Amino acid sequence: MIIKKYTSDNMTNVMAMIKKELGPEAVIMNKRYVRQKGIKGLFTKKKIEITAAVDENAEREVKPISIPQQNNYNGGIEKELTKVTEMLQTIVEKNVDVSDKKVIQDIKPENENKEVKKNTGNKRGLSKKALIERDVSEEILANITSELKQTEEFKDVKRIPDTVLMEKIKEMIKVDENEDNGGRIRAFIGPTGVGKTTTIAKIAALNALSTGKKVGLITIDTYRIGAVEQLKIYADILGIPFSAINNLGDIKPTMEKFNDCDLIFIDTTGRSIKNVMQLSELKLYLDNIRPDKTYLTMSMTTKYNDMLGILEGFSSINYDSIVLTKFDETTTYGSIVNIAYKTNTPISYIATGQSVPNDIERATTERLVDLIFGEAFI
């Protein structure tokens, strides 16, 4: 199989390039929007990048995946699901089982080609001013500085060196080193609009494709219009079981149906931290489901004070880890520092786009630090 990437300003040009070089039998494996690498790229228009493939020995016509027509719900789900079909095109085309590890080799490179630009000159993220410009809380920086000045080494120092401040921030960043042993049942909670459902689909797909484990999807988000249909279509594309829990009485029989699953991912209704009753209802459901691990999902576009409210508001549910989404919708990542300072909870994943399963990464300290200090870009 020949796999190539094509980039242009518009879809028409890209498709013409693909057809000319790979022929009409070429299959679109992935579509995303990219910027020019480096600082200049921040000020240029995004281009369309298509990953296409063709099997030189193929004897059958490749048919595109069709998405069932959705009825009367909002939120751009159809557009999002179209992207999902492009990401998982090869799975259906080859009629392979999701445990076929060869498939993930075709998909994984997208995770590796995020535009990471190392800054080999002056480290732009060292000064306090630069950190504040990257949305690190000025209050938190003042507190960190104050804490350092209370130590024996820096008690008589008028100004804490920037390099020391950077090292202190590095020490604060905690990532989930125990993600592979997170248990069988895993629930995702968080406010509305942070991308819980798409994030679950990404993580479920990666586990199904790369580990060969049998994965199941369950939703208790029966309030949001289209939420059940959205996750069901993800499950259908992946070829994994799906079910919805509509009330507390559904929990036991539903969980029993998933007894043969190695991993069960549970989507929940987005809740407002201002609605104590809704949060109590969510806690009641999870207390009955008893997940082995609970992830708090938060968006990187959320304002600092709202982030603090979310961390505090969902604390009654005792979440074990944090997933940060929408890295592609911001250019500053100082919120990572704010979260690290305010909670001891580790970060498990970062979501860098809407493509399933590509735009999800296991969080590493090095990656997060590079993003904070402006030494890497999404």
Question: Are both 344 and 273 inside the same structural domain?
Answer: yes
8 within some domain = yes
Question: Are both 132 and 54 inside the same structural domain?
Answer: no
82 within some domain = no
> In Å, how far from its chain's centre is CA 223?
23
Confidence of residue 88 (pLDDT cuts 50, 70, 90): low
Please report the pLDDT score of residue 72 as a whole number: 45
Most confident of 64-73, 224-233, 316-325: 316-325
Non-local CB neighbours of 369 within 8 Å, separated by 6+ positions: 169, 170, 173, 375
Q: Domain boundary residue among 142, 172, 202?
A: 172
Question: Are both 271 and 327 inside the same structural domain?
Answer: yes
Confidence of residue 322 (pLDDT cuts 50, 70, 90): very high
Give yes or no for a contact between 269 and 162, defined as CB atoms under 8 angstroms apart: no
142 within some domain = yes
Q: Domain boundary residue among 61, 78, 94?
A: 61
Average pLDDT value for residue range 366-374: 89
110 compared with 375, residue with greater pLDDT: 375
324 compared with 74, residue with greater pLDDT: 324
69 within some domain = no
Longest dimension (CA), the chain: 77
Question: Are both 198 and 325 inside the same structural domain?
Answer: yes
73 within some domain = no
71 within some domain = no
**Cα separation, 216 vs 239, whole angstroms:** 10
Q: Which of 108-117, 128-137, 187-196, 325-334 has the lowest mean pLDDT?
A: 108-117
103 within some domain = no
175 compared with 77, residue with greater pLDDT: 175
Average pLDDT value for residue range 306-312: 95
Q: Report, in angstroms and rounded to the nearest whole number, the Rg of the chain calculated over CA atoms.
A: 22
Q: What is the mean pLDDT of the chain?
A: 80
Q: What is the DSSP letter of 6?
A: E
Question: Are both 163 and 239 inside the same structural domain?
Answer: no
Question: Are both 160 and 184 inside the same structural domain?
Answer: no
Token reading at 75: 């939120």
74 compared with 331, residue with greater pLDDT: 331
- pLDDT above 70 covers a percentage of the chain that reads 75
Question: Are both 288 and 357 inside the same structural domain?
Answer: yes
Q: What is the pLDDT of residues 173-230, one digit of tens each?
A: 999 988 888 899 999 999 999 999 999 999 998 888 878 789 999 999 767 666 788 8
Q: Which amino acid is at 358?
A: N
Q: What is the pLDDT of residues 149-160, one digit of tens each?
A: 998 888 888 888
* Predicted structure pTM score: 0.68
Crossing angle for the helix pair 335-342 and 138-149, to the nearest 10 degrees: 50
Question: Are both 164 and 304 inside the same structural domain?
Answer: no
User: Residue 281 belongs to a domain with what CATH number?
Assistant: 3.40.50.300
89 within some domain = no
Q: What is the pLDDT of residues 250-277, one digit of tens each?
A: 999 999 999 999 999 999 988 888 889 9
**Cα separation, 378 vs 324, whole angstroms:** 13
**Cα separation, 21 vs 3, whole angstroms:** 11
79 compared with 266, residue with greater pLDDT: 266
Confidence of residue 64 (pLDDT cuts 50, 70, 90): very low
Please report the pLDDT score of residue 180 as a whole number: 85
Question: Are both 155 and 268 inside the same structural domain?
Answer: no
Q: Which of 100-114, 179-193, 307-321 has the lowest mean pLDDT?
A: 100-114
Question: Are both 50 and 163 inside the same structural domain?
Answer: no
369 compared with 92, residue with greater pLDDT: 369
Q: How many domains does the chain have?
A: 3
Non-local CB neighbours of 102 within 8 Å, separated by 6+ positions: 96
Please report the pLDDT score of residue 49 as a whole number: 82
Question: Are both 152 and 231 inside the same structural domain?
Answer: no
Please report the pLDDT score of residue 367 as a whole number: 93
Question: Are both 321 and 281 inside the same structural domain?
Answer: yes
Please report the pLDDT score of residue 47 as a whole number: 84
Domain that holds residue 44: 1-61
Q: Which of 83-97, 128-142, 251-265 has the lowest mean pLDDT?
A: 83-97
Confidence of residue 91 (pLDDT cuts 50, 70, 90): low
